[in-house]
Amino acid sequence: MHRGAQVFTVRDYTKDRQQVESTLRKIKAIGYDSLQYGAPPFISHKELKIMLDDIGLLPSSVYAGFDQMKIRPFAMKECLGAIKQAVSNAKDFGVKYIGIGTIPFYQSTSADGFKQFAEDLNKMGAEMKKEGCGVIYHSHALEFFSLGGGKHGMDIIMDETDPESVFFSHDTHWLASGGVSVVDWIYKTKGRMPLIHFKDYAIIAGAVVVEGVCKRFAEIGEGNLDWAKIVKACHDTGIEFAIVEQDTCPGNPFDSLKISFDNMVKFGV
């Protein structure tokens, strides 16, 4: 399993080409061997891949816009063009998976909305599959909106999408935030989750009232998640990339990446 970093963690240090290269070299120096990163406007995917090869980092996926690729009969040419461009970027980058953003709000409040989103993913994934690629969806907490009877929106997305073209990258923090078992959902997604986002779920001390408990994004091993069981589940299910992503850090984000890396090693990644 590759130990990767999501460049969003250090996004404030990627403002130009020189900063990008310096930042990626720092990530490599910490010990990471891979990363998740979409090429910024000032670097093409081909150029970024050359840079990564030189540094010694393996890319895991590319990003593309869901709205642009969503198949719509009245804009078929534009949608297929966007998918074609995403596939081209993936091939330039040497990856198979094309990531998209969060489910649109208007689809996230009902079973019908989740069903429509699953259909959208299937149509998108079918086009990518023709070129040897697949769409990968990164869940947060909102997909675990309860539909009653123990069923969540995420169940619909998983159950009603093609396992050969629609894949997932769950996030340990957001699974916990969604009130579900992190380990159970890793096993539940076996065979469809080539990469997972690692970040801890920590409680902020000093709540004014009992109900005022607040959580924060935390470095691996510095919060409340059971990392020994999480890492075992990742190994058991064949996850290829464990990607550290910390949306906000208490100090220097490179220090947070170092803490997470060292603890990942300790937990057996």
Q: Please state, in angstroms and rounded to a whole number, the distance separating the CA atoms of residues 50 and 36.
A: 15
Closest CA to 60 of 240, 262, 258: 240
Binned at pLDDT 50, 70 and 90, residue 227 comes out as: very high
The per-residue pLDDT of the chain, averaged, comes to 95
Domain of residue 175: give its range: 2-266
Tell me the two tokens of residue 246: 């910390």
Q: Mean pLDDT across the stretch 128-142? A: 96
- For residue 88, what pLDDT is reported? 96
Domain CATH number, residue 255: 3.20.20.150
* pTM for this predicted structure: 0.95
Quick count: other Cβ atoms within 10 Å of Cβ 74? 6
Give the pLDDT confidence score for residue 205 in this predicted structure: 87
User: What phi and psi values does residue 152 have, to the nearest 5 degrees?
Assistant: -115, 165
Distance from C-alpha of 244 to C-alpha of 231, rounded to nearest angstrom: 13
pLDDT at 211: 76
Residue 210: CB partners within 8 Å, gap ≥ 6? none
How confident is the model over 83-106, as pLDDT tens digits?
999 999 999 999 999 999 899 999
Instruction: Identify how many contiguous H helices and E strands the chain contains and give both numbers.
Output: 10, 13
> CB-side exposure of 53: number of CA atoms within 13 Å?
9
Per-residue pLDDT, 208: 77
- In total, how many domains does the chain have? 1
- Segment 57-76 shows an average pLDDT of 93
Name the residue type at position 182.
Answer: V
Q: Per residue in 7-46, pLDDT tens? A: 999 999 999 999 999 999 999 999 999 999 988 999 999 9
